[in-house]
Amino acid sequence: MSVEVRLRHAQGDFLLDVEFQFGAGVTALFGPSGAGKSTIINAIAGLIRPDEGRIRLDGIPLFDSTQGTWLSAHQRRIGVVFQDARLLPHLSVRNNLLFGWRRAREKVGAGEIDHVIALLGLDTMLERKPRTLSGGERSRVALGRALLMNPRLLLFDEPLAALDAARKAEIFPYLERLHDETNIPMLYVSHLVDEVARLADRVVLIRAGRVRAEGSVFDITSRLDLLTGADRLVPSTVLDATIIGHDGSGLTELSFSGQRLIVPKIPRAIGAHVRVRIDAQDVMLALVEPRHVSANNVLAATVAELRADGPGAEADIQLAIGEAKMIARVTKRSVQRLALAPGMRVFAVIKSVTVGGRDPH
C-alpha cells in the first residue's frame, strides 16, 4: 500500500506546497507548530478540499484537481485519531467502538472486533462511559474506533499531545503493537522528538508549508544541517541494536554496527531487536581513551562532519561509528580546545541511553 501526496493550498497568508510519498509502517510528519501538518492530515482525510494537487491511495485518486476528482471523507476508508479523542459522551466504550464499525463501507467480521478489543486492552472497560476513562484509555478507544472502520490508511494528528507523561507511557505500547501487527500505512503528526524516535520508520520534516527533508528516522536524525537554524530537529541519535546479553547487576548489553552498548536491563530475550536513542548532550568526546570514568560506554569514533557556525555557544559533531552515525553536541570552546576536525579519531563517552521497547524491523 502506498500513498502519494501533492498539495498546494492557501490559508490567508500561509501557503502549503508539499509533495511526498509513504507506505507501510509509521511515517512521522514532523515539524514546529504552524508548519502545515494538520492541514495535510485534514486534506488526506477529506475534511478540507485543497486548492490544487492530488492524493492517491495505492494508485487510486482520492483527490485530483486536474481531473476534478474528489471523494468525500466517508468514501475514503481512512481512519483518523485526533488528540482530543472525540468520543461520543452518551455512548459506552463498546458502542463508541461499534460506531466506527457501523460506519465502515466494508465491515470486518466479529472476530476482528474481538481482536481489536484485545489488541488495545479494552475488554475490561466496554460498558464504561468516556467520562470515566483516563486520557490514555480514551486514546485507545479512539484508536479502536478508527481500526474498526476497516481503514486502508490511519492518520494520527498529535494523538498524545494532551496526555501527561504517565498516560503517554500507557498508550505507547499499544501504538507499537499496532505497528508490529498490521500492514496499514500510518501517518503520525508530531512535534515531539521522543515520539518520532520511538515510533517512526520514516520522517517527513515540514517547515513553513514546505517539505524540508524526508528519509528514514535513522538518516534524518543524523543530519547536521537539520539541527540548526529554523528546523531545530532532533539533537539526538536513533540506532537499531540487538540484545546480546544480560548480567547479574541489572544491565543489558547491546550490539550495533560492530560496537557494544551497556544499558539498564531490558526484559527481552537475547537476539531481540530494540531501538535506542542517545541525546547529543549525553555524548562527551575525548582524544584519548578514558579508562577511569563512571560511564559504561566509551566508543571509538571518527569525526565525519562538524558544524559550529550557529549563533549560540554550541557545536554539533557527526561521528562515524562503523556504519552508524552518532551526534554529539559540545561547546564551540571544546571544539577549539580539542582542535576537532573532520577525519580525526576520537572517543565518544556516552552518559545515558534511552531504549525503546519495540522491534524496529
Cβ atoms within 10 Å, residue 268? 15
Predicted pLDDT of residue 360: 41
For residue 136, the one-letter residue type is G
pLDDT reported for residue 357 = 46
pTM: 0.84
In the predicted structure, residue 137 carries a pLDDT above the cut 70 = yes
What percentage of the chain reaches a pLDDT higher than 90? Answer: 53
Nearby residues of 38 by Cβ (< 8 Å), 6 or more positions away = 157, 158, 189
Please say if the pLDDT value at position 115 is more than 70: yes
Output 67-75 pairs: Cβ under 8 A, ≥24 positions apart: 71/46, 72/46, 73/45, 73/46, 73/47, 74/46, 74/103, 74/105, 75/46, 75/105
Residues 66-79: pLDDT tens digits?
999 999 998 899 99
Give the DSSP H/E element, type plus range, for residue 44.
helix 37-45
Dihedral, CA atoms, 148, 151, 157, 158, nearest 10 degrees? 60
Helices (H), 182-251: 193-199, 217-220
Q: Among 163, 46, 72, 38, which residue's Cα sits nearest to residue 142?
A: 163
Residue 231 has pLDDT above 70, yes or no: no
Give pLDDT, residue 228. 52
Does the structure show a pLDDT above 60 at 233? no
pLDDT in tens, 280-328: 889 999 999 998 888 889 999 999 999 887 777 889 999 999 889 999 9
| pLDDT tens track for 37-96 | 999 999 999 999 999 999 999 999 999 999 999 999 988 999 999 888 789 999 999 999
- What count of other Cβ atoms lies within 10 Å of the Cβ of residue 75? 11
With bands split at pLDDT 50, 70 and 90, how would you rate the model's confidence at 226? confident
E-strand ranges in 208-272 read 210-216, 236-246, 251-256, 259-264
Residue with cell 562527551: 284
Q: Tell me, what's the pLDDT at 361? A: 40
Q: Return the higher-pLDDT residue of 119 and 355.
A: 119
Closest by Cα among 39, 46, 33 to 9: 39
Tens digits of per-residue pLDDT, 196-205?
A: 888 899 999 9
Predicted local distance difference test score (pLDDT) of residue 39: 95
Domains and CATH numbers, the chain: 3-217 (3.40.50.300), 236-356 (2.40.50.100)
Mean pLDDT calculated for residue range 4-21 = 96
Instruction: Identify which has the larger pLDDT, 191 or 186.
Output: 186
